[in-house]
Structure 1
């Protein structure tokens, strides 16, 4: 029976009924004999019931058991299961009281593994300490497509840090002596300012506090750390008149929502305003209270000025880019406009994203496995003579070349001329990868050569990877093409 986190009124009706009807009531306890689970369920115990306290032989101290701590615990669980089996063989119904939920970091599961295959078993769920802590704080755990991660504080700090970096919301159990490691992991992952501490949730001595203010020496085992929902934390928050806003330039990645990083997702959730090219904003789920400001794709400077002005007035602004915002995208535009003295005090932060070049490369293997360069064929902001010179230099240097913005409805001749320039320095059989809408619903990837590449089949949604002299295209067993550039390069 899960008896909940501490408040006796949180025992379910079903658990209360079965506890009162049981012949035997068992519960785990430390060597001092006190059991939180029994204390919670005390009002439902009746005279004549047999009580079976299952006393741990060891908790956190050392042991002289020949098998060490694990050996002592394994023997304890085997002996406890045998005691309960004796009652069951005698025809008695047994209830095992479990604080919180029986299958949520509970000791009951060790009885379950040893007994459920031999006896009819019913597991009655209970309110978990995580749910209780969230309610005590009045802060939701997650909403919409946010991810909640439950972690034991016994993990090494580095492993905790990795998990915390990769999730929006988290609960960290089993604090006590692990608290310093947990605090270190929260700090290293940049989440300490958002973390809350909850001790003995729903009990009479419940305690909540900002985790960074908690003294490690005061932390008991029955406590946890909570990172509530980023979206919920931002909901309904209106900036103060003198609040200091900021601009965060965010990369969504090329198209697949799975490529959106946890940091980017959290920054979007925390924003008051979302600014960006309309189709990019359409890829972002808006939460209540956020404002969207779509604009055309050719007004980068105006979009940046608008975002900076919102932030100057105290708003948290997310400027949305596809791919990585620092690669032919909005980060440079925002930073350039931010040089104007009127916005000198507005903080600007850039959150990276997966680039289109990386996404296309991954679809075929590792064509970017050696030195490469990234070029844009768009001559809207730089003269074609510069583009042509750089293409020739990169080709002569035998670099793999990732080509962005290869063509558009109004730019059809540039790729034709670029192919001619490349063929002046590269063999016609040089491998070319053409990725279109990679990560999106209309994705296609083709492997061809410079000689066979048809510029008429390439549009603005394509990205090209032109191999070096060392790039290899091989056919895999399933018939697909694998393209890679070896890490080594031949000496002259």
Structure 2
């Protein structure tokens, strides 16, 4: 009688984690088979206490892809079958569980249908690693995905982009690559090496050293929780796959920009020239999935099926997913596919209006009642989606509602209660409830309060008022606190705007204060900040629902309006933001992603007219403020004062804004300049750009490949003797130099003087590059020498690069001359 092959999972490493059945079956076996390496068999070591009476049948399996492993499995299967033919019972040991990435499958696949096979499951590495790490992998309806680190990279990316938990097996030599994928997906994880074994190691993924890890290593990536779920951003990506949809894409971008949202046009690089779009991509499905996973709304000028297939693996929860809208190539159809009730319907309606069509709607509540029950108007939110499902079903059955919620006035009347509430209570989970954003949190602050303390204090006062946090419309204060980090932290924590009022506006609320303070009046000229700001924001019909509370250098008060507060633009003003943006030398191709995003998010473009012309294609709703060449101080002061009015301003600079450009002047004005208090308190950011010197160097090879200097020859702001000293020091130090502002109509001698300085210390044949209008249609590049350069070939739009004594040039077979400065690498 033929014997039976029993495949036994021996667990992850600790012998005590073997099941009782596994131990019994192994002890009763005639033969115990197992794979082994040069260091023996891990599975055999785990089961050693139960294998003393059996015949051992080890087999070696090479870790290679040349066919040797398959041959080894063939031999092992034949040996096992031989023992079975002689009536012996055989146990095949497998680490973990044999049915989950177990090598035993390579044996059973060969013997299936030929011998009797039974399987004894074991504790998996996934559950063991989670146990020793103290991590609950999944709860409720959260998905769990287990993948080997050798899986296709696109599959790994899609899996990590989804919110479920992920367990990565076979980390070993793939650790660096998969750890990078986890980081790039914005996720965290835990590395577990040899889980449950005596030498197990557990460490946060971000602290694990790079390099190959032991074979039995696992990465645990926890599910995205409610606290860490991806956020739907305000940004919109209009995705175009071919030239026939390009004009439709441009019109879609303009229509969405007109609604106030930042938009970028994304084009498939194999069919659309990069110069025609803001962002390019070369893998449509992966790019669309990445956008969706990052919380970016997607408008696809393409077939709906392409969008559906791209995001399908990531669709899990409509309450946290961004909108996806399909637009026909010619604009003849607009179809909201996902996120219709997270702003997608409003975006689709704006697109439909642009193309003169009707939005294709399939949702029952939209088609029958003209309203999305779970997508209330601006200023309202849904307390709990659960009860709204029953409400939708009731309305579909012809029933009506009993409510005084204003935007439901057109619904048929009936007995189904729908309410509005700003307080937390037990009815939220059973009665459809809308939360109006009708509460303002007023705050005062000492300078430098800990942001975490401020957030904790705000949470405490909301709890004291039994207030639903979603009822909070804004955090408000006095304009002297516009740059107070703690107050911004509170607004960010509740995802509401932070707005400020002038002293005069708050003084007008003095008669309504519950706790006026003489000390505050002495300090800032008004009787109170927290209560006054809350009342000013909530409006004349508002009432204080929580008078001033004092906590850790903070004052906090709550005021409630009879209806949602807003629009936000009418509540005081924002802090304001100035972003100094480098747009590169001229071509659209050298704009950075940060540059395009910053310009899209801004409300105003400020700059020299030529620079504004270069980015006119990116201007939609933004106002434009032109300045002539010169008087840069007034240009920057204007931008700061405009930002001080609460606006998001882009100050545009060619090249890099930190190299002989506007960023330095902005910093100086903020530090010491005569600007208003509001301007001094604006938020400031600098977006780097490709510099003229970098662009010129790239066009000609690598002339700046070793140490180099940038020097401006303009003596309008720096005396010539100072410039000359720097030139002489650079010449003596023998490194390449890029000369900015080499010549203008009025400054005609500085370049010649600079050349004479360098001619005194460098060979006559030192390569010199003259680069004019790099990246623009009139671009001109000329490579000459220190002896032959003619200053008359240089103008105010030129950059001159003078090589070091080691700089070389050579001409290739196609006639192109290249320049480089060697770093000293050994070249053989």
Q: TM-score, normalised by structure 2?
A: 0.35
**Other-structure match for 2:598:** 267
Q: Is the 8 A contact 1:273 1:316 kept in 2?
A: yes
SS of 1:303 mapped into structure 2? helix
Asked if 1:295 is matched to 2:627, the reply is yes
**Other-structure match for 1:475:** 811
**Other-structure match for 1:381:** 717
Deviation of 1:487 after TM superposition, in Å, equals: 1.7
**Other-structure match for 2:55:** none
Q: What is the aligned counterpart of 1:332 among 638, 652, 664?
A: 664
Alignment of 1:128-143 (within 5 A): none
Q: How far apart, CA to CA, are the structure 1 residues paired with 2:806 and 2:739?
A: 18
Distance 1:311 1:468, change over 3 A: same
Q: How far apart, CA to CA, are the structure 2 residues paired with 1:151 and 1:239?
A: 41
Deviation of 1:473 after TM superposition, in Å, equals: 0.2
**Other-structure match for 1:422:** 758
Q: Is the 8 A contact 1:370 1:487 kept in 2?
A: yes
1:267-304 deviation digits (Å, cap 9, x = unpaired)? 11221111101111111225443211111221111111
**Other-structure match for 1:27:** none
Distance 1:164 1:410, change over 3 A: farther
Q: What is the aligned counterpart of 1:319 among 647, 651, 658?
A: 651
Asked if 1:251 is matched to 2:392, the reply is no
**Other-structure match for 1:444:** 780
Q: What is the aligned counterpart of 1:400 among 728, 736, 748?
A: 736
SS of 1:254 mapped into structure 2? coil
Q: Is the 8 A contact 2:264 2:600 kept in 1?
A: no
Q: Is the 8 A contact 2:262 2:597 kept in 1?
A: no
Alignment of 1:24-423 (within 5 A): 145-147=277-279, 160=290, 173-176=311-314, 198=339, 202=362, 241-285=572-616, 287-339=619-671, 340=673, 342=677, 343-423=679-759
Deviation of 1:142 after TM superposition, in Å, equals: 5.6
Q: How far apart, CA to CA, are the structure 1 residues paired with 2:583 and 2:597?
A: 12
Deviation of 1:197 after TM superposition, in Å, equals: 7.9
Q: How far apart, CA to CA, are the structure 2 residues paired with 1:165 and 1:265?
A: 18
Distance 1:198 1:465, change over 3 A: same
SS of 1:411 mapped into structure 2? coil
1:42-79 deviation digits (Å, cap 9, x = unpaired)? xxxxxxxxxxxxxxxxxxx9897969999xxxxxxxxx
Q: How far apart, CA to CA, are the structure 1 residues paired with 2:782 and 2:691?
A: 18
**Other-structure match for 2:469:** none
Aligned length: 326
Distance 1:294 1:468, change over 3 A: same
Q: Is the 8 A contact 2:655 2:690 kept in 1?
A: yes
Aligned-residue CA RMSD in angstroms?
Answer: 4.5
Q: Is the 8 A contact 1:272 1:289 kept in 2?
A: yes
Runs of 5+ in structure 1 lacking a partner? 1-60, 71-103, 105-130, 184-195, 219-235
Q: How far apart, CA to CA, are the structure 1 residues paired with 2:641 and 2:752?
A: 42
Q: How far apart, CA to CA, are the structure 1 residues paired with 2:719 and 2:777?
A: 34
Q: How far apart, CA to CA, are the structure 2 residues paired with 1:169 and 1:372?
A: 45
Q: Is the 8 A contact 1:240 1:314 kept in 2?
A: no
1:416-437 deviation digits (Å, cap 9, x = unpaired)? 1111111111111111011111
Q: How far apart, CA to CA, are the structure 2 residues paired with 1:165 and 1:374?
A: 41
Distance 1:448 1:147, change over 3 A: closer
1:357-380 deviation digits (Å, cap 9, x = unpaired)? 111111111111111111100011
Distance 1:344 1:141, change over 3 A: closer
Distance 1:441 1:468, change over 3 A: same
Deviation of 1:440 after TM superposition, in Å, equals: 0.8
Greater Cα shift, 265-274 or 466-475: 265-274
Q: How far apart, CA to CA, are the structure 2 residues paired with 1:465 and 1:360?
A: 8
Distance 1:208 1:153, change over 3 A: farther
Q: Is the 8 A contact 1:239 1:314 kept in 2?
A: no
Runs of 5+ in structure 2 lacking a partner? 1-99, 111-146, 152-238, 240-251, 266-275, 301-306, 322-336, 345-361, 366-371, 387-566
Q: TM-score, normalised by structure 1?
A: 0.57
Distance 1:327 1:199, change over 3 A: same
Distance 1:430 1:146, change over 3 A: closer
Greater Cα shift, 315-324 or 169-178: 169-178
Distance 1:289 1:473, change over 3 A: same
Q: Is the 8 A contact 2:577 2:683 kept in 1?
A: yes
Q: Is the 8 A contact 2:262 2:601 kept in 1?
A: no
Q: Is the 8 A contact 2:279 2:593 kept in 1?
A: no
Deviation of 1:335 after TM superposition, in Å, equals: 1.1
Distance 1:269 1:176, change over 3 A: closer
Q: How far apart, CA to CA, are the structure 1 residues paired with 2:808 and 2:578?
A: 43
Q: How far apart, CA to CA, are the structure 2 residues paired with 1:167 and 1:408?
A: 47
Distance 1:482 1:316, change over 3 A: same
Q: How far apart, CA to CA, are the structure 1 residues paired with 2:280 and 2:602?
A: 20
Q: Which has the higher contact order (CA 8 A, sep 6+)?
A: 1
**Other-structure match for 1:94:** none
Distance 1:412 1:352, change over 3 A: same
Q: Is the 8 A contact 1:141 1:148 kept in 2?
A: no
